[in-house]
Amino acid sequence: MKGIISQFGGWSIIVVYGLFMVGVTALLAKHFEKTKLYFLLAKRKVNWIPAGFSIAAAWVWAPALFIAAQKSYEQGAVGLFWFTAPNVLCLIVFAFFASKLRCLFPEGYTLSGYVQDRFSNRAQNMYLGTSLGLSTCSFAVQLLAGGTILASLTTIPFYQVTIALAIIAISYTFWKGINASIMTDFVDMAFMACIGLTFVPWAVINGGGYEAVVKGFGGISGDFTSLFDAKGIQVFLTFGLAATIGLMSGPFGDQSFWQRAFAIDDNKNGVKKAFFLGAFLFAIVPIMMSQLGFLAAGNGIKVNDAQIVNLEMVTKYLPFWSIVPFVYMLLMGLCSTLDSALSAVSSHGGHDLYNRMGATGDPIKFSRIFMVIVALLAICIANIPNMKILYMFLFYATMRSSTLLPTVTMILKQKNLSESGLFYGIIASLCIGLPIFAYGNFNKVTPMIVAGSLLTVFSSGIILWVTSKFKIGNLK
């Protein structure tokens, strides 16, 4: 697939998309107030419908665009199930906790701000560290995916693509903050649905119809036919377990979604409505993209790189020009997560760190500085030689699970939680579970992958429960 679009054509796609996003921001986010509340939370007046589209678009990260097709191709419907079901379920579950925290902390800006308000500065530090790490890695994996696809299609060097994508996301988010992120996400999600629902069925019809798709439900090997047979259990242990834990932890550990919860107008359950809508809209994407993976498997096609099997099928079964709107669809999904990560970082910088450092002056400038810092770090990470999308996804998905049980517990239980248990529990998860998981994943040792995933998510929760029950440490 290398070079099927000229370098000029590739740059044209990137530049046109960037100008389009700036134009959308200028058109839909006309009003701008140079205040912290507007820049970080749009004055808490975001309607639940565009917010739902934005939540879906922000959740359509690189894995949803690439891994859904990859897992369908490699592991059939079993692989798709263990990717899609947790993705959708986590947004539905999160809706209830986001609504509850909004009631508990109505004037809040961040989850880490709630942790500081209730517990301590050092407890907040743990949440800040994991959240900023997640935002940086999330930004990096989008750059990695975007760079992979455009470098495969054009002669543009990979590192130049990653820089260009980062600049696009910064251009409008840096300008108008969360409002720009939500409005551009709203447009992105609408376009992604229209393009995908047009071009994917077209490719399927040209590739033999849905008979070929059904034939590919067992993956390219044809061995993955059940969730409960030996192959199905293997997929669960090597991918499904870590993905489920990581995905269920996803919104809980991601400031992008807490920020939207604080920004939505919560009259008449606006927060819950937005996340329910986001879950429904998101489900369309992996189901849609998986058809291309099934199509390749059903036709017995051996692809050079399973990570981009979706593009392989588009270029094989559709006219040459059709690759352009398909690439735009992928760019929209990628950049929606990029701007959401930047917006999340801005809330940490302009609120949490601004207050902690006793900074003076305009907090919006502080927010923008952190956007640029994280973008530069992410560019460096994305350009590490031989970095893989799947490795990055599994790594940071597991990292953020360290705060899942403490977060759930402190929202549900308002008294008598141990501050020490919260602090040291998260440290234990990161220092014990995460390294075991990383070693097992990179060396393909299934027992260590399982043990690492479970230790990461449960260590922090168990330590918090024990210390709170036996009143060890300061109870809050």
Quickly tell me which residue has 């959240």 as its tokens: 131
pLDDT band at 398 (very low <50, low <70, confident <90, very high): low
Cα separation of 441 and 168, whole Å? 33
d(CA 159, CA 144): 9
Query: What is the rounded radius of gyration, in angstroms, for the C-alpha atoms of the chain?
Result: 22
Determine the Cα angle at 58 with ends 36 and 118, to 5°: 50
Q: Is the pLDDT of residue 246 over 90?
A: no
**Per-residue pLDDT tens for 349-371?**
999 999 988 888 899 999 999 99
Distance spanning both ends of the chain, measured CA to CA? 58
d(CA 393, CA 59): 13
Q: How far apart are CA 193 and CA 329, in angstroms?
A: 8
* Beta carbons within 8 Å of 105's beta carbon, 6+ residues apart: 113, 114, 117
Q: What is the arithmetic mean of pLDDT over 342-349? A: 94
Q: Which residues contact 429 (CB under 8 A, 6 or more apart)?
A: 401, 402, 455, 456, 457, 459, 460
Angle between helices 419-428 and 404-412 (to 10 degrees): 160
Using one digit for the tens of pLDDT, what is the confidence trace for 270-328? 999 999 999 999 999 899 999 999 999 999 999 888 878 888 898 899 998 888 888 88
List, for residues 188-205, the tens digit of each pLDDT value: 999 988 988 999 999 999
* The pLDDT value given to residue 244: 82
Give the pLDDT confidence of 141-171 residue by residue, as tens digits: 889 878 887 887 888 999 999 999 999 999 9
Buried b / exposed e across 430-450, counting CB within 10 Å, b at 16+? bebbbebbbebbeeeeeebbb
Each residue's pLDDT tens digit, 209-224: 999 999 999 999 999 9
**3-class SS of residue 220:** coil
User: Per-residue pLDDT tens for 371-395?
Assistant: 999 999 999 999 988 777 666 766 6
pLDDT of residue 389: 67
Per-residue three-class SS string for 29-59: CCCCCCCHHHHHHHHHCECHHHHHHHHHHHH
- Give Cα separations from 58 to 108, 141, 183, 259 (angstroms): 21, 13, 12, 12
In the predicted structure, residue 433 carries a pLDDT above the cut 90: no
Q: How far apart are CA 265 and CA 113, in angstroms?
A: 20
Tens digit of pLDDT for each residue in 79-100? 999 999 999 999 999 999 999 9
Q: SS3 of 102, please?
A: helix
Q: What is the mean pLDDT of the chain?
A: 89
Whether this prediction's pTM lies above 0.75 is answered by yes
pLDDT at 460: 94
Q: How confident is the model at residue 409 (pLDDT cuts 50, 70, 90)?
A: very high
Instruction: Work out the number of other CB atoms within 10 angstroms of the CB of residue 329.
Output: 25
> How far is Cα 290 from Cα 376, in angstroms, rounded to an integer?
32
Using the Cα atoms of residue 246, residue 228, residue 310 and residue 55 in order, give the sign of their dihedral.
Answer: negative
Q: Measured between alpha carbons, how far is 285 from 332 in angstroms, rounded to an integer?
A: 12
